[in-house]
């Protein structure tokens, strides 16, 4: 029987913590690291992050766009980074933000969530602008193969607020509706109901949401209680201003299921300072959840 993603995530939380290290080889960072702005540079960057993360964290999140911009060579580089992360027994979240309909979205799921695929990850980010039902094929594939899906719900960019705070026909905001729909999908599938536990003692489901660490939940009509048992991928810690110590304030008891994503605040320390930066961030996150 395939082990659910929620169980694997809970085990990583317990053994290696909640810190997720971003792998974002954008041009300015490559220059700072003394690497070429090319697929080869992105590959070397990614492998160095994987190597450092393996010693101090349990989760990595490659931002697909920074590899994709180098075309086929960039994807070849990404495949090698993903392979190295799997070999290091890191949980990999592909930050792909894919969304579509029918066979098109199914193909995205096939690419990122199929065992043995060159782009195989443990989870992927997805967009449900066409409704959560548009992701049925992706969610079904994830459930079949023990993978996870994080659906964008509340992002920290100000441009997103008018859309995400808009009221749906059912009276919820768009953001709150996404969270409610994902929670209902978890209940319907039994995701997390088989006994997977976070270190905080609550069950961890396999389908989650993306909520920016700097968002004001009340502005988006979000209730902390609605996140219970649901993994939350929270980018924005460090460089964007959120601190690990604010975890409980962000999501209260649900903070036990937060994947704390930090990228620039770690990567800006360069290859020599990478390990120390990861250790510092991991300690900060762990301390606020004691």
CATH code, domain carrying 148: 3.20.20.70
- The pLDDT tens digits along the chain (290 residues) read 689 999 999 999 999 999 999 999 999 999 999 999 999 999 999 999 999 999 899 999 999 999 999 999 999 999 999 999 999 999 999 999 999 999 999 999 999 999 999 999 999 999 999 999 999 999 999 999 999 999 999 998 889 999 999 999 999 999 999 999 999 999 998 754 434 444 444 568 999 999 988 888 889 999 888 898 999 999 876 555 556 556 666 666 567 889 999 999 899 999 999 999 999 999 988 887 76
Tally of structural domains, the chain: 1
Where in the sequence is the domain holding 232, given as residue range(s)? Answer: 5-288
- Position 204 scores a pLDDT of 86
Which residues, at least 6 apart from 86, have a Cβ–Cβ distance to it below 8 Å? 92, 120
Which residues, at least 6 apart from 39, have a Cβ–Cβ distance to it below 8 Å? 67, 70, 71, 73, 74, 76, 77
CB-count exposure of residue 25 (10 Å: 0-12, 13-18, 19+): buried
- Position 256 scores a pLDDT of 81
Q: Give yes or no for a contact between 251 and 224, defined as CB atoms under 8 angstroms apart.
A: yes
Reduced to 3 states, what is the DSSP secondary structure of residue 96?
strand
- Position 242 scores a pLDDT of 58
147 counts as catalytic: no
- Position 251 scores a pLDDT of 63
Q: Give yes or no for a contact between 176 and 223, defined as CB atoms under 8 angstroms apart.
A: yes
- Position 266 scores a pLDDT of 94
Nearest to 18 by CA among 64, 63, 62, 56: 56
Q: Which of 26, 69, 97, 168 is catalytic?
A: 97
Whole-structure pTM value: 0.93
- Position 156 scores a pLDDT of 85
CA dist 155 and 175 (Å) reads 9
- Position 244 scores a pLDDT of 57
């Amino acid at each position: 029987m395939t082990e659910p993603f929620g169980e694997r995530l809970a085990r990583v939380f317990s053994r290696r913590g909640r810190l997720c290290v971003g792998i974002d080889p954008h041009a300015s960072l490559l220059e700072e690291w003394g690497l070429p702005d090319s697929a080869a540079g992105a590959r070397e960057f990614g492998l160095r992050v994987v190597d450092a993360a393996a010693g101090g964290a349990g989760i990595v999140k490659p931002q697909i766009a920074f590899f994709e911009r180098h075309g086929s060579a960039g994807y070849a580089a990404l495949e090698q980074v993903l392979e190295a992360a799997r070999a290091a027994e890191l949980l990999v979240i592909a930050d792909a933000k894919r969304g579509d309909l029918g066979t098109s979205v199914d193909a995205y799921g096939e690419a990122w969530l199929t065992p043995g695929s060159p782009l195989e990850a443990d989870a992927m980010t997805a967009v449900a602008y066409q409704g959560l039902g548009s992701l049925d094929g992706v969610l079904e594939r994830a459930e079949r193969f023990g993978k996870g899906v994080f659906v964008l719900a509340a992002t920290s960019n100000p441009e997103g607020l008018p859309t995400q705070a808009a009221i749906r026909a059912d009276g919820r905001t768009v953001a709150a509706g996404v969270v409610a729909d994902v929670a209902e999908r978890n209940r319907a599938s039994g995701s997390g109901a088989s006994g997977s536990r976070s270190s905080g003692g609550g069950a961890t489901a396999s389908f989650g949401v993306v909520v920016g660490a700097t968002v004001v939940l009340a502005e988006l009509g979000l209730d902390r209680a609605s996140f219970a048992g649901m993994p939350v991928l929270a980018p924005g810690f460090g460089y964007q201003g959120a601190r690990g110590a604010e975890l409980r304030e962000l999501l209260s008891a649900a903070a036990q299921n937060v994947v704390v994503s930090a990228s620039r605040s770690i990567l800006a320390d360069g290859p020599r300072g990478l390990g120390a930066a990861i250790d510092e961030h991991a300690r900060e996150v762990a301390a606020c959840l004691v």
